[in-house]
Homo-oligomer: A and B are copies of this chain.
Amino acid sequence: MAKKTPIEFWFDFSSPYAYLAAMQIADMAEEHDRTVVWRPFLLGVVFKENGSAPLTKQPMKAAYMNHDVERFARLYDIDFKWPGTFPLPTQAAARAYYWLEQQNPALAADFVAVVFDALFARNRDISDPATVLDIAEKMGADRAALAAALDDDAVKDKLKAVCAEAVERGIFGAPMTIVDGEMFWGADRLWMVEEWLESGGW
């Protein structure tokens, strides 16, 4: 039997639906003998490329989402509180992720969950690099080295390359779960991802 490919999970740290899905995708992957490749990117970059209007410009959709995210979290019994500032820039968190991934992939994966929890359950301002450094340091990362990395051109270029890859591959929203080359958009598609994992595709 061919080796099972990893599940790619593309997200922006500021997406509440990505938060709701991230909390489950790791378990789902493990259950089906797959690993997860975490791919934080910047939604703003693909929105611009794709001509998508941000939610702040779509009041009806934004009102729906406000209600829906809370309903979704209640159903899954996931802690959720709207951040004081939303949406918010996520460059620092995403750059930190890619630096951590190079150092220690397991820690980087945990970092995803802790950052999401900080933003959407504890109202911590993860757009502030100091918050990102606090989180990573508490998890055992080298604060000074990470602080330097956040301003390092190589790390910035890595995130730029990831965003360019998102555009190239047509990843127009988040979360985007990719299994065997198949893209599934949204936290509400995890049932279909599971169907794919169980059936091997159709």
Contact = CB atoms under 8 A, between A and B. Distances in A.
Interface residues on A, range: 20 to 34
Contacts of A188: 186, 188-189, 191-192
A131 to B, nearest CB: 31
A63 interface: yes
Given A51-B57, A52-B61, A53-B51, A75 B195 contact: yes
A57 to B, nearest CB: 5
A15 B172 CA distance: 20
Contact of A172 (B50, B60, B182, B191): B60
A173 B51 contact: no
Contacts of A173: 61
Interface of A: 46, 49-53, 57-61, 63-64, 67-68, 71, 74-75, 167, 170-173, 182-183, 185-186, 188-189, 191-192, 195, 202
